[in-house]
Amino acid sequence: MPAERPERVLVLGIGNVLWADEGFGVRCVEEMAERCALPDRVRLLDGGTQGLYLLPFLEEADALLVFDAIDFGLPPGTLRVLRDADVPAFMGAKKMSLHQTGFQDVLATAQFTGGCPARLTLIGCQPVELEDYGGGLRPAVAAQIGPAIAEAVAELTRWGVPVGDGRTETGDLADASIRRGAYETGRPSAEAACRTGDDRFFPATAKETA
């Protein structure tokens, strides 16, 4: 790990908020903006479902902290922190959604162009539920937002970045209509919006009907 303190830091939340716990990373960043006062050299960014669009943000950062929902094969709701070389390797080990492939490719591309941040930390949460299109975070995963932010604050402190209580103003977050509160409370009922699918990809449903 490089000894010097990172000058510019990118705190990135990735995932698709429309797929239940897949939205974990984006929700962490939203919440962090409400709770933490971050200095100007830290950029808080909702990366959403994007791939290559994120490359310029990576290239301008010396250190990258990513929140994401990751399949670690651990009990649902478990939080894990990975650093540096373990990050891309792990993200490549299991591909559960398209954005991860995208982000893994972004990391590889940044390495190829020489623009990959010198430090890389991933704060990941094992999802409870992904098989719920239009759904919100499950309680066990929502409960990990606080601890995930605590991990992030500890990591930033180790990097020599002061984090205070308060808020961070940024235009880099999701539109108000799909922030967690509005999104989860405005959801139509299960009757109005059918939520099942292919047994190959919905093993839980397959088990019930078997």
Partner 1 sequence: MTTQTPNGFTLDNSGKRIVVDPVTRIEGHMRCEVNVDENGIIRNAVSTGTMWRGLEVILKGRDPRDAWAFTERICGVCTGTHALTSVRAVEDALGIQIPDNANSIRNMMQLALQIHDHIVHFYHLHALDWVNPVNALRADPKATSELQQAVSPSHPLSSPGYFRDVQNRLKKFVESGQLGLFKNGYWDNPAYLLPPEADLMATTHYLEALDLQKEIVKVHTIFGGKNPHPNWLVGGVPCPINIDGVGSVGAINMERLNLVSSIIDKSAEFNRNVYIPDVIAIGGFYRNWLYGGGLSSQACLAYGDIPENPNDFSPEQLHLPRGAIINGNLSEVHDVDPRDPEQVQEFVDHSWYTYGEPGKGLHPWDGETNPHYELGPNAKGTRTNIEELDESAKYSWIKAPRWKGHAMEVGPLARYVVGYAKGHEDIKTQVDGLLRTMDLPFNALFSTLGRTAARALESEYCSRLQRHFFDKMIANIRNGDQSTANVEKWDPSTWPKEAKGVGMTEAPRGALGHWIRIKDGRIENYQCVVPTTWNGSPRDSQGNIGAFEASLMDTKMERPEEPVEILRTLHSFDPCLACSTHVMSPDGQELTRVKVR
**Taking CA 107 as the corner, what is the angle to CA 101 and CA 109, rounded to the nearest 5 degrees?**
100
Any binding-site annotation on 129?
no
Q: Annotation-wise, does 99 bind a ligand?
A: yes
User: Among residues 36, 104, 119, 121, which is the contact residue for partner 1, using CB under 8 A?
Assistant: 104
Scan for tokens 């880099």, then name that residue.
Answer: 172
Among 44, 63, 130, 156, the residue binding partner 1 under the rule CB under 8 A is: 130
Q: Quote the least distance from Cβ 160 to partner 1, whole Å.
A: 27
Q: Please report how close the Cβ of residue 191 comes to partner 1 at its closest, in angstroms.
A: 10
In this complex, which beta carbon is closest to partner 1, that of residue 107 or of residue 149?
107
Q: Which of 28, 70, 97, 151 binds partner 1 (CB under 8 A)?
A: 97
Please report, as residue ranges, which positions from 52 to 71 form the binding site for partner 1 (by CB under 8 A): 52-56, 59, 71
Which of 82, 128, 88, 129 has its CA nearest to residue 108? 88
Q: With CB under 8 A as the contact rule, which of the stretches 15-23, 33-41, 147-155, 158-166 interacts with partner 1?
A: 15-23
- Select from 78, 102, 73, 74 the least CA-distant residue to 88: 102
Burial class (CB in 10 A: 0-12, 13-18, 19+), 92: middle
Stretch that binds partner 1, among 32-40, 148-156, 158-166, 181-189 (CB under 8 A): 181-189
Q: Which of 107, 61, 101, 55 is nearest to 86 (CA)?
A: 107
DSSP secondary structure, 53-78, as one string: GGHHHHHT-SEEEEEEE---SS-TT-
Q: Which residues of 167-178 are buried (b: 16+ CB within 10 A; e: fewer)?
A: ebeeebbbeeeb
Instruction: State how far the Cα of 99 lies from the Cα of 105, in Å rounded to an integer.
Output: 10
Position among 24, 65, 99, 138 found at the interface with partner 1 (CB under 8 A): 99
Stretch that binds partner 1, among 46-54, 76-84, 141-149, 160-168 (CB under 8 A): 46-54
- Binding residues vs partner 1 (CB under 8 A): 16-19, 22, 46-56, 59, 71, 88, 92-99, 102, 104-105, 108-109, 111-113, 130-131, 133-134, 171-172, 174-175, 177-178, 186-188, 192-203, 206
